[in-house]
């Protein structure tokens, strides 16, 4: 009955502190906010609220929580408050968390699968392969909103929001291989765009993990509005 594991030398307050990070990440809204900040550098409370669909006051409250736990930092500019991730380690951890969660939870995989439409995954391109493909003359298409593109995008990418895609198909050089990307791993825009492009005879692939994964690999500096 002495118990294996060495309880007698380890005390509680450490585990209480240790649980704080997980607590901060244990809420879908906060996770969404972190994900937004991960791909978009710096955003105001209002922008975050609009993009996440969380009520403004609640957004503010959740950001306080994230801030108190060292995951985000804030900067005031005039009347606005800008939030961003506390550092690259946070972004890196977030990526690992998402991958680990997808490995551990069959339900999460199912949810992603059903949300992305079950249909083919369009042969995803890893963010590390992208440079090589681009040298081969592959066309890189950013299917997020013009707004998001302006906020930051992969260098050399063409902005072609999903909503305008069907109208602007003729702008694309025929018979080119296309790589479409959107926000992050849970964004449905690039698979949908891929579907449309494939229907119109393009050879198309999607960027695995989207812009988020690319930024994680290459840093944001290179992506600043060129």
If one asks whether residue 183 binds DNA (CB under 7 A), the answer comes out as no
| Residue nearer to DNA on the CB measure, 52 or 98 | 52
Residue that the structure tokens 């710096």 belong to: 42
User: Are the CB atoms for 62 and 35 separated by under 8 Å?
Assistant: no
Contact partner at residue 219 from DNA, a copy of itself, none, CB < 5 to 8 Å by partner kind? none
Which residues inside 37-76 make contact with DNA, applying CB under 7 A? 44-46, 54-58, 60-65, 74, 76
| 182 is known as an active-site residue | yes
* Min CB(62)–DNA separation in Å: 6
Contact partner at residue 21 from DNA, a copy of itself, none, CB < 5 to 8 Å by partner kind? a copy of itself
Q: Put the strands of the sheet holding 43-44 in their side by side order.
A: 43-44, 80-85, 72-77
Nearest CA to 181 out of 161, 201, 151 is that of 161
Catalogue the E-assigned strands of 48-201.
72-77, 80-85, 139-142, 158-159, 177-181
Contact partner at residue 61 from DNA, a copy of itself, none, CB < 5 to 8 Å by partner kind? DNA
**Cα of 217 vs its chain's centroid, Å:** 12
| Residue nearer to DNA on the CB measure, 49 or 190 | 49
Which residues inside 79-98 make contact with DNA, applying CB under 7 A? 79-81
Active-site residue identified among 182, 187, 189, 207: 182
Distance (Å) of CA 217 to CA 85, 152, 153, 169, 221: 16, 15, 13, 30, 11
Contact partner at residue 56 from a copy of itself, DNA, none, CB < 5 to 8 Å by partner kind? DNA
Is residue 205 classed as helix, strand or coil in its secondary structure? strand
* Residues marked as catalytic: 182
Residues contributing to the site for DNA (CB under 7 A) = 23, 26-27, 29-30, 44-46, 54-58, 60-65, 74, 76, 78-81
């Amino acid at each position: 009955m002495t118990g294996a594991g060495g309880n007698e030398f380890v005390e509680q307050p450490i585990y209480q502190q240790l649980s704080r990070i997980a607590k901060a990440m244990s809420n879908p809204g906060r996770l969404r906010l972190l994900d937004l900040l991960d791909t978009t550098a710096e955003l105001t409370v209002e922008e975050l609220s609009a993009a996440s669909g969380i009520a403004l006051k609640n957004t503010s409250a959740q950001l306080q929580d994230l801030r108190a736990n060292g995951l985000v930092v804030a900067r005031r500019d005039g009347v606005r408050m800008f939030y961003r991730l506390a550092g690259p380690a946070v972004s890196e951890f977030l990526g690992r968390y998402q991958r680990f969660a997808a490995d551990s939870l069959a339900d999460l995989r199912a949810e992603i699968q059903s949300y992305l439409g079950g249909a083919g995954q369009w042969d995803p391109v890893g963010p590390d392969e992208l440079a090589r493909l681009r040298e081969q003359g592959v066309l890189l298409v950013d299917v997020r909103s013009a707004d998001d593109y302006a906020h930051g995008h992969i260098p050399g990418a063409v902005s072609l929001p999903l909503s305008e895609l069907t109208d602007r198909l003729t702008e694309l050089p025929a018979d080119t291989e296309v790589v479409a990307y959107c926000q992050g791993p849970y964004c449905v825009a690039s698979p949908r765009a891929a579907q449309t492009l494939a229907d119109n005879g393009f050879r198309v692939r999607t960027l695995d993990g989207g812009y988020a994964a690319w930024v994680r690999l290459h840093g944001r500096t290179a992506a600043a509005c060129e």
